[in-house]
Amino acid sequence: MRRSVITGTGSYLPERILTNEELATFVDTSDEWIRTRTGIRQRHVAAENELTSDLAAHAAEKALESAELAPGDVDAVLVATTTPDYTFPATACVVQEKLGVPAGAMAFDLQAVCSGFIYGLTVADSLIRSGQVRRVLLIGAETLTRLLDWQDRTTCVLFGDGAGAVVLEAGEGEGTVADRGVLHTVSRADGRYRELLHTDGGPSSTGTVGHIRMQGREVFRHAVTNIADAMREVMQAAGVSARDIDLFVPHQANVRILDATARKLGIPPEKVMLTIAEHGNTSAASIPLALDAAVKQGRAKPGDLLLLEAMGGGFTWGAALLRL
C-alpha cells in the first residue's frame, strides 16, 4: 500500500522577537495575564521587507536539506497560509521560483486558517496515494502580525509570524498501523461559526485585508470539543488508543486548550509538544514548527507514532495520525 512518509522537516522564525513585557509598553496588558491565560512569553515579527514567501522558502530549504533532496526532486509545492504575499499569484508559486523548483511542478495555496497544515496533510497524502505525485513540499507559513489590530488587546497578544515545512515522499507499507507515513487524517468545517473568528476585510468584500476579530471564550469552548472529537476519530480509524501515541504535536493556540484536550484524551503531559511560549499562535505554521522542534530535540524519532490536531477560523478543524 502506498504511504506518504515525512522524510524531512524544517522551520524558520523571523529574527525580531517581541516579548510580553515589550508588548505591555504599548498595549493595555501584562506579561502575567498573557502567560497565565495563554502560555505565550514572546512572538516573532517579520521584518518590514520580509514576506510570507521568504519565511516559507527558508523553512522549505531546511526541510529539503534534512530530507537530502534538491529542489529539482519536488513534484508539488503546497503552502498553507492565511497571509499570502499577494491576493494572487499563490504564495506557493513565489516559493517555487525562490527555491528553484522546476517549471511544471504543481504549486498552490491552501486556506484553512489555523487548520491549514492538517488540511494540507490530507491533500498531500491524497495526491501521493493516488499516484499523481511522488514528493510534496508542504509548508505552513504566516505573517499573521500583519492582520493584527494593535489596539485590540484580546487578539494582538496571541499571534506571531513563522514558517514550518515537511517533505512527504511516496513509500510502500503493509497497510497496517506499523507502516511509516500518514495513517489517517480528518479535516472538518462548520461555516455557521465563521463570525466567531474572522477578519473584517477581504479582496471581494472591502478591498482591504482586514483585522483579526475573535470571540475568544466561544472559540475556546468549541476548540476543546472539536479537537477531542477529531483526535478520537483518527485513533479509532487506525485502531490505536491514546496509550500508543508517542508524541502529541498540536496546533499551538493556547496552552490551556492543549492541557484540557490532552487530559480529556488521557495523554500525559510529558507526551505533549509545547512551543507556544516561544512564538505564540502562528496559525498554519504552528504544527510544522512544533514538529521540527520535536525532531531536533530528539523527542520525535523515526518510527514514533504522532498525533496532530488543529482548530481555527471557519470553523475548520482536524487531526492526523502518522508514523515518522
**Shortest Å, Cβ 55 to ligand UT7:** 18
Q: Cα–Cα distance between 83 and 86 in angstroms, integer? A: 8
**Shortest Å, Cβ 185 to ligand UT7:** 18
Burial class (CB in 10 A: 0-12, 13-18, 19+), 134: middle
Q: Cα–Cα distance between 100 and 93 in angstroms, integer? A: 10
Q: Which residues contact 47 (CB under 8 A, 6 or more apart)?
A: 14, 15, 16
Nearer of residues 8 and 164 to ligand UT7, judged by Cβ:
164
CA distance to 157, 212, 262, per residue, from 164 (Å): 21, 22, 23
Half-sphere exposure of 110 (CA within 13 A, CB side): 29
The question of whether 156 is a catalytic residue gets the answer: no
**Shortest Å, Cβ 103 to ligand UT7:** 36
**Shortest Å, Cβ 252 to ligand UT7:** 8
- Say if CB 211 and CB 149 are below 8 A apart: yes
Nearer of residues 276 and 321 to ligand UT7, judged by Cβ:
276
Nearer of residues 225 and 236 to ligand UT7, judged by Cβ:
225
Q: What is the DSSP letter of 24?
A: T
| Partner residues linked to 142 by β-bridges | 162
From 20, 226, 254, 281, the catalytic residue:
281
Nearer of residues 37 and 41 to ligand UT7, judged by Cβ:
37
From 20, 44, 114, 198, the catalytic residue:
114
Neighbours of 4 (CB within 10 A): 29
Nearer of residues 38 and 81 to ligand UT7, judged by Cβ:
38
The question of whether 251 is a catalytic residue gets the answer: yes
Q: Cα–Cα distance between 83 and 85 in angstroms, integer? A: 7
CA distance to 50, 189, 190, 315, per residue, from 226 (Å): 34, 10, 10, 10
**Shortest Å, Cβ 157 to ligand UT7:** 4
Q: What is the DSSP letter of 204?
A: T
The question of whether 281 is a catalytic residue gets the answer: yes
Nearer of residues 162 and 312 to ligand UT7, judged by Cβ:
312
Nearer of residues 253 and 308 to ligand UT7, judged by Cβ:
253
Residues that bind ligand UT7 in the complex, under the rule CB under 6 A: 29, 33, 37-38, 114, 153-154, 157, 216-217, 219-220, 223, 253-254, 257, 281, 311-312
Q: Kindly state the greatest CA–CA separation across the chain.
A: 57
3-state secondary structure of 194: helix
**Shortest Å, Cβ 42 to ligand UT7:** 14
From 20, 251, 254, 279, the catalytic residue:
251
**H helices of the chain, where?**
20-23, 31-38, 52-67, 91-99, 116-129, 153-156, 216-238, 255-265, 276-279, 286-296
**Shortest Å, Cβ 3 to ligand UT7:** 29
Q: Report, as residue numbers or ranges, the catalytic residues.
A: 114, 251, 281
